[in-house]
């Protein structure tokens, strides 16, 4: 592990949200996870099945008081958009991804228990619902090759639609985006400690996998707060200093041939920008390049209109207040974030919520998170699981009440 002095000194330059992200990303699981045991007990006893049935017609009343929840009939259509990244592997060796078996189990569960819809269907039903049952859409960010090698066969097996948001520069170059390059650089660096100037002195702990992960998370969190040109300069400086090998960043993203094969089978695609920047840090010219040029290239390559966009990183601070107007001006119809929660007719189409699932998420937890999110009476942040170290600690009052009523609150 890195020395405490190193970690504390570097975390001190980060904003509170960034520090929270780093710490949540590496928070160890307790030796005895009572919450997980409670959820599994609910799963095997049939209580989760009952909760799922209730969530399809009802939601928590805002006047509900734990430990006795009160329900009211759900008002209007409700939709969850799931967010995946890599399956089996991500873009670097430091960050684990859900296994193919876990993904298969989750897709089989969805096929048996929910209406799984395309984004096109969800947009249509937000205005003109065809069923009172809630719906779920499946999306992937970044365009990792595992979407083709691992996820695509499972999606075909269960005949499920999905949308993949592509980072265009990675597809064109065949190399992963900058944040994966940071993780890869620290993952391949020699063992020890390393000092470098990244807008100030940084001491990188490289004595263990855990230390490398913490150092990489701190760097990425810091880079996300920089203007885009300064972030690019720091990334290049880090890669040169640590002699990042080309082999570490190649062969992990989709090719256009693989994209075309999936497109022929009904997989949809959207834009995830050109280079995966933090959109809120972009200048006007940079925004036009990332939002408009990515759409133009995608439409030319795919031969079909590209209507949907995914914000890189996707938290509120990453998106920028003026971006929605530009997205509409450039011809997009929607944008998804990584703010967890349920989408309803009043949800901003350029601020759609998504729920993420982690690499060690049990099927019982997956089922619980979906039921809990649909039961949340006002559809705000709920039901988020760890993925790429990102988790939401801010839940709505309804979700807090539900958690207290059926198993305690998240750590």
pLDDT tens-digit map of 165-222: 999 999 999 999 999 999 999 999 999 888 999 988 898 889 999 999 999 999 999 9
pLDDT tens, position by position, 113-148: 999 999 999 999 988 888 889 999 999 999 999 999
Number of structural domains (the chain) is 2
Contacts of 402 (CB under 8 A, 6+ apart): 60, 69, 372, 375, 376
CA–CA gap between residue 198 and residue 192 (Å, rounded): 18
- For 74, other C-beta atoms within 10 Å of its C-beta total 22
Shared domain for 84 and 95, answered yes or no, is yes
Shared domain for 131 and 259, answered yes or no, is yes
CA–CA gap between residue 27 and residue 217 (Å, rounded): 12
What's the token pair of residue 141?
Answer: 């960010």
Boundary of a domain, candidates 217, 248, 279:
248
Shared domain for 327 and 282, answered yes or no, is yes
Shared domain for 134 and 259, answered yes or no, is yes
- Are 33 and 50 in contact by the 8 Å Cβ rule? The answer is no
Shared domain for 165 and 297, answered yes or no, is yes
CA–CA gap between residue 369 and residue 309 (Å, rounded): 25
Domain contains 133: yes
Domain contains 406: no
Shared domain for 87 and 13, answered yes or no, is no
Domain span at 21? 4-27+177-248
Shared domain for 213 and 328, answered yes or no, is no
| pLDDT at residue 2, as a whole number | 38
Domain contains 276: yes
CA–CA gap between residue 50 and residue 367 (Å, rounded): 11
CA–CA gap between residue 112 and residue 366 (Å, rounded): 14
Shared domain for 223 and 109, answered yes or no, is no
Shared domain for 93 and 159, answered yes or no, is yes
Domain contains 262: yes
| pLDDT at residue 10, as a whole number | 62
Domain contains 33: no
| pLDDT at residue 31, as a whole number | 78
Shared domain for 264 and 350, answered yes or no, is yes
Q: How does pLDDT run along the chain (411 residues), one tens digit per residue?
A: 333 434 455 656 777 878 888 887 777 777 788 889 999 999 889 999 999 999 999 888 877 777 777 888 887 899 999 999 999 988 888 888 999 999 999 999 999 999 999 999 999 998 888 888 999 999 999 999 999 999 999 999 999 999 999 999 999 999 999 999 999 999 999 998 889 999 888 988 899 999 999 999 999 999 999 999 999 999 999 999 999 999 999 999 999 999 999 999 999 999 999 999 999 999 999 999 999 999 999 999 999 999 999 999 999 989 988 899 999 999 999 999 999 999 999 899 999 999 998 888 899 999 999 999 999 865 443 333 323 333 333 333 333 333 333 333 222
The CATH number assigned to the domain holding 319 equals: 3.20.20.370
* Beta strands at 71-73 and 58-60: parallel, antiparallel or unpaired: antiparallel
CA–CA gap between residue 157 and residue 107 (Å, rounded): 9
Beta bridge partners, 308, equal: 334
What's the token pair of residue 270?
Answer: 């959207």
CA–CA gap between residue 119 and residue 81 (Å, rounded): 8
| pLDDT at residue 357, as a whole number | 86
Shared domain for 135 and 223, answered yes or no, is no
Residue 31 phi, psi dihedral angles, 5° rounding: -55, -45
Domain contains 39: no
| Residue count of the chain | 411
Boundary of a domain, candidates 222, 248, 274:
248
3-state secondary structure the chain: CCCHHHHHHHHCCCCHHHHHHHHHHCCCCCCCCHHHHHHHHHHHHCHHHHHHHHHCCEEECCCCECCECCEEECCCCCEEEEEECCCCCCCCCCCCCCCHHHHHHHHHHHHHHCEECCHHHHHHHHHCCCCCCCEEEEEEEECECHHHHHHHHHHHHHCCCCEEEECHHHHHHCECCHHHHHHHHHHHCCCEEEEEECCCEEEEEECCHHHHHHHHHHHHHHHCCCCHHHHHHHHHHHHHHHCCCHHHCECCECCHHHHHHHHHCCCEEEECCCCCCCHHHCCHHHHHHHHHHHHHHHHHHHCCCCCEEECCCCCHHHHCCCHHHHHHHCCCCEEECCCCCCECCCCCCCCECCEECCCCCCHHHHHHHHHHHHHCCCCCCCCCCCECCECCCCCCHHHHHHHHHCCCCCC
Domain contains 297: yes
Domain contains 125: yes
pTM of the entire structure?
Answer: 0.88
Of residues 342, 399, 376, 353, the one with CA closest to residue 59:
376
Shared domain for 152 and 197, answered yes or no, is no
Boundary of a domain, candidates 204, 220, 248:
248
């Amino acid at each position: 592990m890195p020395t405490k002095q190193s970690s504390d000194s570097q975390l001190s330059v980060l904003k509170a949200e960034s520090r929270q992200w780093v710490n949540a990303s590496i928070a160890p699981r307790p030796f005895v996870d009572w919450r997980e045991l409670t959820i599994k007990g609910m799963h095997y006893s049939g209580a989760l099945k009952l909760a799922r049935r209730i969530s399809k017609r009802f939601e928590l009343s805002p006047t509900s008081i734990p430990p006795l929840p009160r329900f009211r009939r759900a008002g209007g259509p409700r939709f969850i958009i799931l967010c995946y990244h890599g399956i089996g592997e991500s873009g670097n060796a430091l960050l684990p991804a859900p296994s193919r078996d876990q993904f298969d189990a989750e897709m089989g569960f969805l096929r048996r228990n929910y209406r799984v819809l395309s984004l096109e269907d969800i947009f249509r039903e937000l205005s003109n619902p065809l069923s009172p049952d809630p719906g779920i859409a499946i999306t992937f960010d970044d365009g990792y090759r595992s979407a083709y090698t691992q996820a695509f066969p499972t999606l075909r097996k269960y005949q499920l639609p999905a949308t993949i948001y592509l980072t265009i520069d990675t597809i064109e170059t065949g190399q992963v985006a900058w944040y994966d390059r940071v993780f890869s650089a620290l993952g391949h660096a020699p063992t020890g400690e390393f000092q470098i100037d990244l807008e100030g002195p940084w001491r990188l702990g490289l004595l263990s996998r855990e230390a490398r992960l913490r150092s990489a998370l701190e760097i990425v969190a810091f880079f996300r707060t920089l203007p885009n040109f300064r972030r690019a300069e720091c990334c290049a400086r880090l890669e040169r200093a640590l002699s990042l090998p080309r082999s570490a960043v190649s062969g992990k993203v989709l090719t256009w041939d693989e994209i075309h094969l999936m497109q022929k089978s009904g997989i949809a695609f959207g834009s995830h920008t050109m280079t995966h920047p933090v959109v809120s840090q972009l200048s006007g010219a940079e925004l036009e390049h990332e939002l408009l040029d990515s759409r133009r290239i995608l439409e030319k390559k795919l031969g079909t209109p590209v209507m949907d966009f995914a914000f890189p990183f996707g938290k509120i601070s990453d998106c920028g207040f003026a971006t929605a107007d530009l997205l509409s001006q450039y011809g997009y119809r929607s944008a998804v974030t990584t703010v967890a929660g349920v989408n309803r007719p009043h949800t901003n189409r350029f601020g759609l919520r998504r729920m993420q699932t982690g690499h060690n998420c049990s099927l019982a937890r997956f089922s619980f998170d979906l039921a809990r999110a649909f039961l949340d009476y006002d559809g705000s942040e709920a039901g988020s699981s760890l993925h790429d170290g990102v988790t939401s600690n801010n839940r709505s009052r309804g979700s807090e009440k539900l958690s207290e009523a059926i198993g305690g609150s998240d750590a």
